[in-house]
Chain A
């Protein structure tokens, strides 16, 4: 009797194991399923606008009058706005983020590191609405005073705030890349008589370059998708900015600012979802590129 009991329980044990294993498998496929549904629903709600406007008129059209009697839907100014603030913010954030990574991985003493790494992590966790608020209340009046501008909410302000939000991403991923550079390379460089600066710039950074480029791309991707900051400090004008002190309206700001007032399933509503598609595709492409680079980098280091 004991024997048959054991036999039966062993059988059910493997069944239970099989069941549990596959439950976990199914649950862990949730992420990719959600990504699929994000695409599906954005396309479902966004595509109808292309019955009214051609795709090229939508993307390259320079006029955005969604609520006019004869509405015009062109998001080129928003695309340009997104490109400019992302580009400018990376010009600021890349050197600062990279140098701080160098500091943490190559220069800082252990105790300093213990303090600085969590601080950078905390910086990453500051809510974007607070950054936007800071940009509105402190940075905007400051810029107005210093550069004698009529408006403090502009491309430059938005880029500054975005840079600030991209720095932690760039810094922590670059640091991982630098840490992965073998000790022996540094020692070889020192043994040849190179000083610390020369070792950093000619040995360590080149060796970590593909990891660093992943960091830069992910930082930029974060800046493109960031919503609250550009909504609050970019100024909101749906026109192509002529200078960095002009207001602009990046893609996420356009969606966030107008979605609440767009009547359900109107052309305006569909056009905003289509704007979301463009934003999603851009960030997705950036992430694919980052994935590809980090994969290449892992293969190289093997």
Chain B
């Protein structure tokens, strides 16, 4: 009987511990998001979003940083989307040779595991220096594009896998070639899922700081970029420099909170959107 009680107590404590860990995760998540929202909300105004920084960054808005992040992210998706979707199509629709698949997968996994600061070094050595682009939107977008490639491949593959085999078989039975089947049957069916992938890529690219530090980001630019060879301000870099460098760290706190709120809304919003779309797709196929 004593043993029975001990087992019951152990089970109770163990399960409580598991629930506690879940609570810790949720609580810390809400602490971080709550902190940014709570501190940042008072700072956000139309003027903050649309004005340029003033008085050596201590007042004014963050418009150039918003625009800069937008440009970088759009550029990254333009780089990564065609490559990512093509890789997913090859892996899911064409590849039969186990060795080639293994090589491609090894490449994708290795790419996904490279630290973001190493991408920054790579972008610096290749795009900024060897290609001579300098620190600019183009270099930053290419670097971020490579970084989000695995994200887009993963999501696109999942979308292609969700297309029922019968669709392909029906199309092939009607005499369509493999490419015609992919173009007219598989891709349209997988499109929402593939777009989800690029949305996830957007979220990832928007939040990264280290890859753009040496390849694109400027501490301060007044001009709105008109060419891909311009340096830009970016939201994550803006938070970093204001919070760590310069002589006005405490004076610019409100701007830091506001920028963090804008960034986190962008990233979490985009990710939440992707999650919702994906849940819809799964329900339709499930």
Least Cβ–Cβ distance between A295 and chain B, in angstroms: 10
Give Cα distance in the complex from A129 to B35, angstroms. Answer: 14
Known: A42-B118, A225-B115, A225-B117. A284 touches B110 (CB 8 A): yes
Q: CB distance B113 to A221 under 8 Å?
A: yes
In the complex, chain B residues whose CB is within 8 Å of the CB of A20: 179
Q: Is B18 an interface residue (CB 8 A)?
A: yes
Within 8 A of A (CB), among B54-99: 82-83, 86-87, 89-91, 94-95
Within 8 A of B (CB), among A24-68: 24-25, 27-35, 37-38, 41-42, 44-45
In the complex, chain B residues whose CB is within 8 Å of the CB of A226: 115-116
Q: Is B22 an interface residue (CB 8 A)?
A: yes
Q: CB distance A32 to B207 under 8 Å?
A: no
Known: A31-B149, A123-B29. A129 touches B209 (CB 8 A): yes
In the complex, chain A residues whose CB is within 8 Å of the CB of B32: 126, 130-131, 134, 164
Q: CB distance A31 to B122 under 8 Å?
A: no
Q: CB distance A29 to B107 under 8 Å?
A: yes
Candidates A16, A131, A197; contact of B14 at CB < 8 Å = A197
Q: CB distance A276 to B28 under 8 Å?
A: no
Q: Is A273 an interface residue (CB 8 A)?
A: yes
In the complex, chain B residues whose CB is within 8 Å of the CB of A144: none
Q: CB distance B209 to A227 under 8 Å?
A: yes
Candidates A17, A27, A107, A132; contact of B87 at CB < 8 Å = A27
Q: CB distance B87 to A30 under 8 Å?
A: yes
B contact residues, total (Cβ < 8 Å): 87
Known: A129-B239, A130-B36, A260-B213. A16 touches B179 (CB 8 A): yes
Known: A21-B178, A201-B14. A31 touches B22 (CB 8 A): no
Name the CB-closest residue of A to B207. Answer: A127
Candidates A42, A123, A130, A287; contact of B121 at CB < 8 Å = A42
Least Cβ–Cβ distance between A45 and chain B, in angstroms: 5
Candidates B91, B124, B267; contact of A126 at CB < 8 Å = B267
Q: Is A96 an interface residue (CB 8 A)?
A: yes
Least Cβ–Cβ distance between A161 and chain B, in angstroms: 10
Q: Is B263 an interface residue (CB 8 A)?
A: yes
Give Cα distance in the complex from A257 to B83, angstroms. Answer: 32
Q: CB distance B210 to A252 under 8 Å?
A: yes
Q: Is A232 an interface residue (CB 8 A)?
A: yes
B 99-128 to A, binary, CB cutoff 8 A, 1 in contact else 0: 010011011111101111111111011100
B 24-41 to A, binary, CB cutoff 8 A, 1 in contact else 0: 111011011101100000
Q: CB distance B18 to A102 under 8 Å?
A: yes
Q: Is B170 an interface residue (CB 8 A)?
A: no
Instruction: Give the contact stretch, choosing among B158-166, B184-192, B221-229, B268-276.
Output: B268-276
Q: Is B264 an interface residue (CB 8 A)?
A: yes
Candidates A44, A107, A127, A287; contact of B208 at CB < 8 Å = A127
Q: Is B174 an interface residue (CB 8 A)?
A: no
Candidates A13, A38, A121; contact of B114 at CB < 8 Å = A38
Least Cβ–Cβ distance between A106 and chain B, in angstroms: 8
Q: Is B150 an interface residue (CB 8 A)?
A: yes
Least Cβ–Cβ distance between A175 and chain B, in angstroms: 12
In this complex, the member of A100, A102, A130, A276 whose beta carbon has the largest number of chain B beta carbons within 10 angstroms is A130
In the complex, chain B residues whose CB is within 8 Å of the CB of A252: 115, 117, 210
Q: CB distance A24 to B90 under 8 Å?
A: yes
Q: CB distance A100 to B118 under 8 Å?
A: no
In the complex, chain A residues whose CB is within 8 Å of the CB of B126: 37, 41
In the complex, chain B residues whose CB is within 8 Å of the CB of A44: 125
Q: CB distance B271 to A24 under 8 Å?
A: no
Q: Is B256 an interface residue (CB 8 A)?
A: yes
Known: A24-B86, A125-B268. A256 touches B120 (CB 8 A): yes
Known: A31-B150, A129-B209, A129-B236. A38 touches B118 (CB 8 A): yes
Least Cβ–Cβ distance between A226 and chain B, in angstroms: 7
Least Cβ–Cβ distance between B153 and chain A, in angstroms: 7
Q: Is A291 an interface residue (CB 8 A)?
A: yes
Q: Is A87 an interface residue (CB 8 A)?
A: no
Name the CB-closest residue of A to B86. Answer: A27
Q: CB distance A125 to B207 under 8 Å?
A: yes
11 CB-based A-B contacts, threshold 8 Å = A20-B179, A21-B179, A38-B114, A102-B18, A126-B264, A127-B236, A128-B208, A196-B15, A197-B11, A231-B244, A287-B110
Residues on A facing B (Cβ under 8 Å): 13, 16-17, 20-21, 23-25, 27-35, 37-38, 41-42, 44-45, 95-96, 99-100, 102-103, 107, 116, 118-123, 125-134, 136-138, 164, 167, 171, 195-198, 200-201, 218, 221, 224-228, 231-232, 252, 255-256, 259-260, 264, 272-273, 276, 279-280, 283-284, 286-287, 291
